[in-house]
A and B are shown apart, each in its own frame.
Chain A
């Protein structure tokens, strides 16, 4: 498992989700803290491409050995891609939460929503 980290180029939702924003689209995933709390992820149930997600609401489920957790969208939009690789290797969510453990790519519907997210320092402050 990787060491704790919160990359500064990402924005964070207090429910332990991150967004990597790139020109009207964003990639979502869960933070190091979230995967550590979950333990070993054994199943990721992705949403459908084309479905819409709403900031602050669940868009997918991730299961560890013992528990299932909702994954919350940090921003609103339409899903344009899902990480199908997680079907075979859900452990990437643990091993590489900001890289190969990404979950969905979203076409953002309201770019001003990013104002409501936290930067890495502010998010880390919520963890202590």
Chain B
């Protein structure tokens, strides 16, 4: 019984005390006690990230290390993208599919060396992904290791993000979609030119012991602490997928608009199913929409078929926005759709992605 209660206890990141000190409202999220917002509010955090820089504790996200002579071949078998195109110091987005093409997770993988890769998982999927990696590793000369405990992860995002992090670094930061180790204030950090906001910036994979110091250094230089609520509005404005909302095992990558991250010729698990959907065309497609009035939310039905998977008030655009799966015939940009928002039909328009552009 003691073990069971320990399992259900919420985990805290190395930055928990920083969040409390910054006035965070902490909520349970995927088994973690995470800041949903700070004292200044969601809108202010969102707009600060667009205008200057925000810092996000994303230490709840997991990491899986894959190494060994067949590490590349193994990941090529699992991940939807062409891993052989990923150079050392590169970053690549892909999905992890079941045999039937259903999406287990969407992931960034960083290549640290010829035989060494680091894959970042969604917190809610980490255990599932790890089990999948381990199960599929049979027959490959690879070592798959759960390294979640070895990293804290900070995202610094926004037009001033690079300048802020550069001031701590011993050399130039990696370009977009590349990664490299740097010393930040003397501590070794994997700096990645990636993010989830639509802004330039970096993600930092840090020894947990160093994370509070790095947090203080970037906050001192003007990065505003940003919680999960604004992380969600930021990503939705630029139509990045959120697993559990816009991606799920019951749907495939083609209907989700992630065909660009799928290279079926590599023969990854699920590639046949994905190729079949690509050839036939998906029956439903994930579209972005804007609303004339009101806000649609996850689970609201689209009249004529389909469902909203993400919806919010856009702080930058100041209108209701979202994403929905709709029948392919309703998916063209400019199509007027109606969404049933708790019994009231509200007009929305299928819009070009990304909804927000600088």
Q: Does A110 sit at the interface, judged by CB under 8 A?
A: no
* Size category of the binding interface on chain B: 10 to 19
Determine whether the beta carbon of B342 is less than 8 Å from that of A39: no
Determine whether the beta carbon of B42 is less than 8 Å from that of A40: yes
B229 is contacted by which of A1, A43, A61, A66 (Cβ under 8 Å)?
A66
- Which B residues are in CB contact (< 8 Å) with A68? 295, 297, 342
- Which B residues are in CB contact (< 8 Å) with A40? 41-43
Determine whether the beta carbon of B37 is less than 8 Å from that of A43: no
A40→B36 CA distance, assembly (Å): 13
Determine whether the beta carbon of B294 is less than 8 Å from that of A45: yes
Main secondary structure of the interface of B (DSSP, over half): mixed
Q: Does A65 sit at the interface, judged by CB under 8 A?
A: yes
Determine whether the beta carbon of A65 is less than 8 Å from that of B313: yes
Question: Shortest beta-carbon distance, A95 to chain B, in Å?
Answer: 11
A104→B1 CA distance, assembly (Å): 53
- Which A residues are in CB contact (< 8 Å) with B232? 66
Q: Does B233 sit at the interface, judged by CB under 8 A?
A: yes
Q: Which residue of B lies closest to A1 (CB)?
A: B41
Q: Does A108 sit at the interface, judged by CB under 8 A?
A: no
Q: Does A119 sit at the interface, judged by CB under 8 A?
A: no
A43→B293 CA distance, assembly (Å): 9
Question: Shortest beta-carbon distance, A51 to chain B, in Å?
Answer: 14
Question: Shortest beta-carbon distance, B335 to chain A, in Å?
Answer: 24
Determine whether the beta carbon of B294 is less than 8 Å from that of A65: no
Whether A43 touches B42, Cβ cut-off 8 Å, given contacts A65-B313, A66-B229, is: no
Q: Which residue of B lies closest to A87 (CB)?
A: B293
Q: Does B312 sit at the interface, judged by CB under 8 A?
A: yes
Determine whether the beta carbon of B320 is less than 8 Å from that of A43: yes
A42→B229 CA distance, assembly (Å): 13
* Cβ-closest 4 pairs across A and B: A42-B313, A65-B42, A40-B41, A63-B295
Contacts from A to B (Cβ < 8 Å)? 1, 39-40, 42-43, 45, 61, 63, 65-66, 68
Task: Report 28 cross-chain contacts, Cβ distance below 8 Å, ordered by A residue.
Answer: A1-B41, A39-B41, A39-B42, A40-B42, A42-B43, A42-B295, A42-B313, A43-B295, A43-B313, A43-B320, A45-B294, A45-B344, A61-B342, A63-B295, A63-B313, A65-B42, A65-B43, A65-B229, A65-B233, A65-B312, A65-B315, A66-B36, A66-B42, A66-B229, A66-B232, A66-B312, A68-B297, A68-B342
